């Protein structure tokens, strides 16, 4: 079995992952879906973008990179959310100390 040749480019880094994050957030706002399915939606969007847009002539390469797109979007969202929550808690703690 020969492994597919996969080329990453600027599209992967600057466009695909943010697009998946934006579409995932839009889907969350527009459709009443349980939170447990949101990572699966991000993964499916990543696979769809990779297979049909980034790597239309290389199915295995599209599937391989689609997993990366989806999971990169999930991880980026989780990191941003954790950072935001931590920052808000720190600000609240700081405000409480100033009130004393």
DSSP states along the chain: -PPPP----HHIIIIIHHHHHHHHHHHHHHS---GGGHHHHHHHHHHHHIIIII-TT-HHHHHHHHHHHHHHHHHHHHHHHHHHHHHHHHHHHHHHHHH-
* pLDDT tens digits along 79-94: 999 999 999 999 998 8
| Global pTM value | 0.81
Query: In Å, how far from its chain's centre is CA 95?
Result: 33
* pLDDT tens digits along 39-69: 999 999 999 999 998 888 889 888 988 999 9
């Amino acid at each position: 079995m020969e492994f597919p040749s996969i080329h990453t480019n600027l599209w992967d880094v600057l466009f695909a992952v943010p697009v998946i994050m934006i579409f995932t957030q839009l889907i969350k706002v527009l459709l009443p879906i349980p939170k447990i399915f949101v990572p699966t939606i991000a993964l499916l969007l990543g696979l769809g973008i990779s297979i049909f847009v980034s790597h239309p002539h290389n199915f295995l390469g599209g599937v391989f990179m689609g997993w990366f797109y989806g999971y990169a979007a999930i991880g980026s969202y989780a990191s941003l959310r954790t950072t935001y929550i931590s920052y808000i808690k720190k600000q609240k703690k700081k405000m409480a100390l100033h009130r004393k």
